[in-house]
Structure formats: C-alpha cells, structure tokens
Amino acid sequence: MIACFVDGKLAGNCEISFRTGMKDRHRASVAIALLQAYWNLGIGTRMFEEMIRTAKERGDVRQIEIEFIEGNSRARGLYEKMGFRITGVKPDAIRMKDGTFVNEYMMQKRL
C-alpha cells in the first residue's frame, strides 16, 4: 500500500494485492483513491506507475486488474491512460444511495 501526503495532509492511497494460488498467481488487483482537491496533479499517475513497477519486479505477475463503476469517467480515463482495457461488465452490480443500479466494469493491463 502507498499513501500520498501533500503538505502533511493525506491526498490519496493505493494498493496492489497479489494472488497466491497456483492457478492465479500471475494476477494482481489494484485499487486507488485520491481526494478531489488533489486531482490533476499527476499523483494518481505516479501511484499507478509505482504499482505497475512493483508488479513487474515480482516477476510472476502477467496481468493487473481493476474495476470502476459506470459514470466514473475520470477513473476510466486514468486507467486507460495507464494501459488498462475493459475486459468485462457486471450489469447492475452496484446499488447507489438513491436506489438506482449501475454497471461495474472490469479492466486489465497485461505486463
């Protein structure tokens, strides 16, 4: 896990989780969160670069996976910029506070 601080304040964090099973240890999952006040400063890109570097250094990871929800075009844009591509969709996977449902998209980056 990586935490990013700007002037002593938490700006965001990210993590990478490695699978350990014999059949899926070539896969890793990533997650990232960045407070809106720190958008457009390159922090998300830099944290992603570090996670990708960490996955490559591990040696046995061949793909990294992440998910985002329908309507989150900022996340999708960052993920695509980092080389991720949509590989699937889970229809109505997330229930929003107002009771509506949105799709969840799976993305993958091959190393």
Confidence of residue 21 (pLDDT cuts 50, 70, 90): very high
pLDDT recorded at residue 32: 96
Mean of the per-residue pLDDT values for the chain?
96
pLDDT recorded at residue 28: 97
Q: Which residue has the tokens 């993590």?
A: 15
Mean pLDDT of 25-31: 96
Q: Could you read off the pLDDT of 34-70 as tens digits, one per residue?
A: 999 999 999 999 999 999 999 999 989 999 999 999 9
Alpha helix ranges (H) inside the chain: 43-58, 73-81
- The token pair at 10 is 């938490």
Q: List domains and CATH numbers for the chain.
A: 2-110 (3.40.630.30)
**Cα–Cα distance list, 69 to 19, 25, 59, 94 (Å):** 23, 25, 30, 8
Yes or no: say if 105 and 89 are a contact pair by the CB < 8 Å rule: yes
Cα separation of 31 and 27, whole Å? 14
